[in-house]
A and B are shown apart, each in its own frame.
Chain A
Amino acid sequence: MNQIAERWAPHGVGSIFLYTHEAHPGEYWPHHTSFDQKLQHARALRDVLGVTRPILVDALDGACHRAYGGMPNMTWIINQSGAPVYKSDWTDAHSVENAIQYFVAAVDRRRAGETLAPFNVERLDLRNVDREAFYKGLERNGPKAVREFRAAFG
């Protein structure tokens, strides 16, 4: 997702990471109990995980995250007028970049003189599943995070 952000920035596409809550709290990265702690965790996204996009932090009660559906790793694309044009309940880089390509191309089509009107479309995209990498991420949070995920999903 960082690479996609860099690739499309010259085409008028901004990208942010919105830090929500710890979906899998563990011994090393526990659940939030204060906003200062939440800010510290958010900084570690940049310093530990290498997120290069601007990181914004939601309120401690997750007001924004909850209003947008509360999924742990969703992606939305919002246009300059403030209307969402894409939303996915899970983040997949291929899906996101495919959508960006479409919308940037639509800007070019309008500039070329086409008259375009919005319509709704539903699509069931496919995401990469890498359970091994996911468990490594859980281990970073602590053994408790691994234990609880295995108990919930095996």
Chain B
Amino acid sequence: MSDLRMVEGYNYDEFVPEKFEPGMKFEESPPLGKPAPDFSLWDLEGRETRFSAIWSVHTYTTVEFGSFT
């Protein structure tokens, strides 16, 4: 899938099953106890950081994924 199609598919424009269901793959998510995948993330000012830079600060880090609803 091209980058543009990936962006459009991920940011679907309407909440219909054929658009939101393909992205929901919790059963394929990383296992517990193994190294977590690391990614770039950005703060609210647009400064880039790494997921690993966040979780390495505290003994444990809770991460809630979400949006407005």
List residues of A whose CB falls within 8 A of some B CB. Answer: 1, 4-5, 11-25, 29-33, 35, 39, 41-46, 49, 53-80, 82-87, 89, 91, 96, 100, 103-104, 107, 118, 120, 134, 137-138, 140-141, 144-145, 148-149, 151-152
Contacts and interface: CB of A to CB of B under 8 A. Distances in A.
Contacts of A35: 42, 46
Contacts of B35: 82-83
Contacts of A39: 42, 44, 46
Chain B, interface size category, equals 35 or more
19 contacts: A12-B59, A14-B54, A16-B62, A17-B64, A22-B11, A25-B14, A25-B15, A33-B11, A35-B42, A53-B64, A56-B43, A61-B7, A66-B25, A67-B29, A69-B24, A69-B27, A72-B67, A75-B64, A138-B69
Contact of A145 (B6, B51, B54, B69): B69
B11 A84 contact: no
Interface of B: 3, 6-7, 10-17, 20, 23-44, 46, 49, 51-52, 54-69
B10 A79 contact: no
B15 A16 contact: no
